Amino acid sequence: MKLLRSVAAAAASLLPALGAAQDFNAAPPNAPDQSPAFEGQARAPVLTDDIALKADVITDGLDHPWAMEQLPDGSWLVTERPGQMRVISPGGELSDPISGLPEVAAVGQGGLLDVLLAEDFAQSRRLWFSYAAPAEGGNHTAVATATLSADNSALEGVEQIFAQVPVYDGRLHFGSRLVHAGDGNLFVTLGERSDTPIRDTAQQDDNHLGKLLRIDAMTGAPAEGNPGLGLPEVWAKGFRNVQAAARDAQGRLWTVEHGPKGGDELNRPEPGLNYGWPVITYGLDYDGSPINDGITAQDGMEQPVYYWDPVIAPSGLVFYDGEMFPEWQGDALIGNLQTDQAFTRLRLDGDRVTGEARHLSGQGRVRDIAVAADGAVMLLTDEDNGALLRVSRE
């Protein structure tokens, strides 16, 4: 459905924008007895600027969209969690579902998830997608590759190249984001399936749960040079549910994961390291009880670069590189499923966060975020009537 209507954003005028920005660090933490491990690990100084923003709805009528990629002609390829993939034209026209997708397990948080274009997509038409795949005994996160037909109507040569082990009969924490590793390999983020006690297997080395993988992009085989951390595909372990991942301008991988009640984390994963879940974590369990006696540090386990308490519910990450907002160059933009802010912006200095801003409100649950070719920020809202939004200067 084509709308192209302009929505008044929370930052449509400067004073409301700055007033809203000053509020988020005043919110009390869920775990007041916990303290950051180092200065600047939480509640960084609030970034303020004089940029008034607007959000234009390019199209709506999407069924719980999950991920997007911009095609060479300016269209957007979008996944919908129930199992559809569509193309949205630059003018907002929504295509019929693309044919050729495999069956997905559209249960709970599962379904069709991320999509990633080949770096030479304009020539090869190759892409990858992740999804919850049905399997005997339950479901598991899988990755497939295919080519998109020249008329954008069908996936051709679909081949599943990876499936998470073990299979689990659950509805939660599938992950997953796909990121080019820059060397012909893919990074794949995988959730730990949430339930107690299976979440504890994020610390075990005989499975893919709560792990970050690095695999060959064409075959799914373990990438050469992996650290030998349990299964040969595993690059790092100890994650909860990573739904945001991207490489920065220096080529470094960053992830942002859903924590418990007050424990969302920004990490810069490195090979062979253990990021702690669920042995150490900030925040509390959803019932208000401490997790593993509430400890936040242990030898042999990495601290997050940054954490949020209260949470932002992060999904989607991109490092800004565009002409529309030169003031944001290099900043990390993170989609927020919390509807009081559409996205969070972090200013980084090396491996540390030096400032945080939050932009817009009332736009819906932002599942993915991207930067368009013209520098606009694109948002995808995970709703029954989901939308693709274009954020630009007022």
Name the catalytic one among 64, 140, 173, 258: 173
User: Measuring CA to CA, which residue among 34, 36, 177, 192 is closest to residue 114?
Assistant: 177
The tokens of 236 are what?
């790092």
Q: Round to whole Å and give the CA distance between 339 and 216.
A: 37
Q: Round to whole Å and give the CA distance between 305 and 104.
A: 34
- Taking the alpha carbons at both ends of the chain, their separation in whole angstroms is 24
Give strand pairing partners of 369.
379
- Strands of 168-279, DSSP E: 178-180, 185-189, 211-216, 234-237, 242-247, 253-257, 264-267
Quick one: how far is CA 188 from the chain centroid?
11
Question: Which strands form 84-88's sheet, in the order they lie side by side?
Answer: 65-70, 76-80, 84-88
Q: Round to whole Å and give the CA distance between 227 and 187.
A: 14
C-alpha atoms less than 13 angstroms from C-alpha of 214 in its C-beta half-sphere:
22
Quick one: how far is CA 44 from the chain centroid?
21
Q: Round to whole Å and give the CA distance between 224 and 295.
A: 35
Residue 173 annotated among the catalytic residues of the structure: yes
Type of residue at 43: R
Do the Cβ atoms of 230 and 206 come closer than 8 Å? yes
Active site residues: 173
